[in-house]
Chains A and B, each alone.
Chain A
Amino acid sequence: SQQGEEDPQALSIQEGENATMNCSYKTSINNLQWYRQNSGRGLVHLILIRSNEREKHSGRLRVTLDTSKKSSSLLITASRAADTASYFCATVPDGREHAGGTSYGKLTFGQGTILTVHP
């Protein structure tokens, strides 16, 4: 089952504009990660934000996390045609780090946002 829900499902913008994608989740998390997928191939890790962090930046990417609302947003500034892809949020559940505890290998993905950037 999918934990996260991305909003919007699809986003179409012009080059140079900013793109904002939102993700909501249901259970307590240890961290939340954003991934990009081009043309139905492998996923590329973009950024990881831990539950005690509120904001992280990486180049043109800005991620926020609001654990009280169980939501996160991904902002891509000054978008480029090469940013066209599907974007997924994925959560790692909260849990103690010991054998038999939470598997941090288990990412729970949302449905994704399809971003199209027109040149």
Chain B
Amino acid sequence: DAGVTQSPTHLIKTRGQQVTLRCSPISGHKSVSWYQQVLGQGPQFIFQYYEKEERGRGNFPDRFSARQFPNYSSELNVNALLLGDSALYLCASSLYAYSSYNEQFFGPGTRLTVL
């Protein structure tokens, strides 16, 4: 079975531009979460979507938005890019939104560089 997939693998943008990152969860998984990992730090939670509804949001500005489609894939959009948005963006999927056994499966990430 395919794991979590993300596209593109790498992306280079300039300040002020907009970017869309894509994620396909493991088949059957209805929950998708997005994380930002700046070099040298642990991932930070951005959003969780479950059944196409936002179920959680981290401490990120409104420039960050996301959505989940009927097939449970998801997109993360970042507007008005700043240099500080350069990071590895990770997508994770899981079966449930709420479960004390909620193991999350991560994709390989999208490396975003803002120049």
Binding site for B on A (CB under 8 A): 1-2, 4, 30-31, 33, 35, 40-45, 48, 50, 88, 90, 92, 97-98, 101-112
1/0 per residue B97-112: CB within 8 Å of A? 1111111111111010
A43 lies within 8 A of B33 (CB): no
Residue of A nearest to B58 (CB): A106
Decide if A105 touches B103 in the complex (CB within 8 Å). Answer: no
21 residue pairs of the A-B complex, CB under 8 angstroms, read A1-B59, A2-B41, A35-B106, A40-B111, A41-B88, A41-B109, A43-B92, A45-B103, A45-B106, A98-B98, A102-B98, A103-B98, A104-B100, A105-B92, A106-B33, A106-B56, A109-B35, A109-B44, A110-B42, A111-B42, A112-B42
- Whether A104 pairs with B99 at a CB distance below 8 angstroms is yes
Residues of chain B within 8 A (CB-CB) of A45 are 103-106
A residues in contact with B90, CB < 8 Å: 42-43
Chain A's nearest CB lies how many Å from the CB of B6? 8
For the complex of A and B, the 7 pairs showing the least CB-CB separation, nearest first, are A103-B56, A105-B48, A109-B42, A97-B98, A105-B33, A43-B106, A42-B108
